[in-house]
Amino acid sequence: MRGYILRRLGLLVPVVFGILVVVFVLMRIVPGDPVRMMAGFDVDEATVQALRHELGLDRSLPVQFGYYVAQLARGDLGRSLRSRRPVTDELADRFRNTLVLAVASTGLAVVVGAAIGIAAACFHRSGYDYLTMGAAVLGVSVPSYFLGILMILLFAVLLNWLPSSGIGGVRHLVLPSLTLAASSSSIIARMTRSSMLEVLSAAYVRTSRAKGLRERGVVLHHALPNAVIPVITVVGLEFGFILGGAILVETVFSYPGVGWMMVEAIGTRDFPIVQGGVLAVALAFVLINLAIDLLYAAFDPRIRY
């Protein structure tokens, strides 16, 4: 197991390096001059060139990238071009908010999706099965930003039950969590149903029923543990997607997370912020996948061998 973990951690290096190269190049070939945005468009050219030299943006791309990699090796993500604060400080403020939102959304999606999927498998081809799977297809199909706008109109504008934006207590977390959890819970429900149907038709499940075990015990103690491996994979992927893909939802709800921070940074061509945000999300996604792989062994001892 230790060797497996070390090999997976070793694979982090080329993956993260490739992501850094792509983001670094893309941010510098898109239209827009970050120095002009910082200095203003009425500043003379000499001042702009002096600021560009101070920031190191007058060097060639390979030199800039080499300097950036050297900074990363020292644990330095650079400074924001707009606020001049260290990127690590900016990320620390925003990543915590995104992590709370992702954990809340994933937890809600797992509880709702797993419960719906198990029930749909147990009542296969019933009205409940068709109704819930139809709702799951709808949940996957509706774009998150559109669902977020509908949530704001219903619960914040018409009913005035919940705040529509910002961050504060639990009430500010409800609408963005529900919006993000809608699609994930639908995917988890469909995967849980499919996996449970496959396990419920297995010979050992029929044997358990023939021995007179209660249906609840058969489902929870025999079928569910063997059907959970594919569901764990989906949950891990969905958590990673929520963590890195909450940009639209954070923007709709003006939620101060990493996604909204990167949208603002892209608009102002704040290269260090975008690079630091993408790096943080990429590392989190890869580490989540590693944790999911390790969970397999906990649920299925055969995987340890």
Residue 122's identity, in one-letter code, is C
- The C-alpha atoms of residue 252 and residue 276 are separated, in whole angstroms, by 22
Highest mean pLDDT among 84-88, 211-215, 299-303: 84-88
Residue corresponding to tokens 């009542």: 123
More confident residue, 236 or 32: 236
Q: Which residues contact 74 (CB under 8 A, 6 or more apart)?
A: none
101 neighbors 248 (Cβ within 8 angstroms) = no
Decide which of 44 and 129 is more confident: 129
- Highest mean pLDDT: which range of 59-73, 161-175, 184-198: 184-198
Q: Is 30 exposed, middle or buried (0-12, 13-18, 19+ CB in 10 A)?
A: exposed
Contact criterion met (CB below 8 Å) for 232 and 299 = yes
Share of the chain above pLDDT 90, in %: 1
pLDDT grade for 299, boundaries at 50, 70 and 90:
low
Residue range 19-29, pLDDT digits in tens: 888 888 877 77
- pLDDT above 70 as % of the chain: 90
- Fold of the domain built from segment(s) 91-304: MetI-like fold (1.10.3720)
The span from the CA of 222 to the CA of 162, in Å, is 42
Domain boundaries, the chain: 2-73, 91-304
Are residues 261 and 274 in contact, defined by beta-carbon separation less than 8 angstroms?
Answer: no
pLDDT at 41: 66
Write down the pLDDT at residue 229.
79
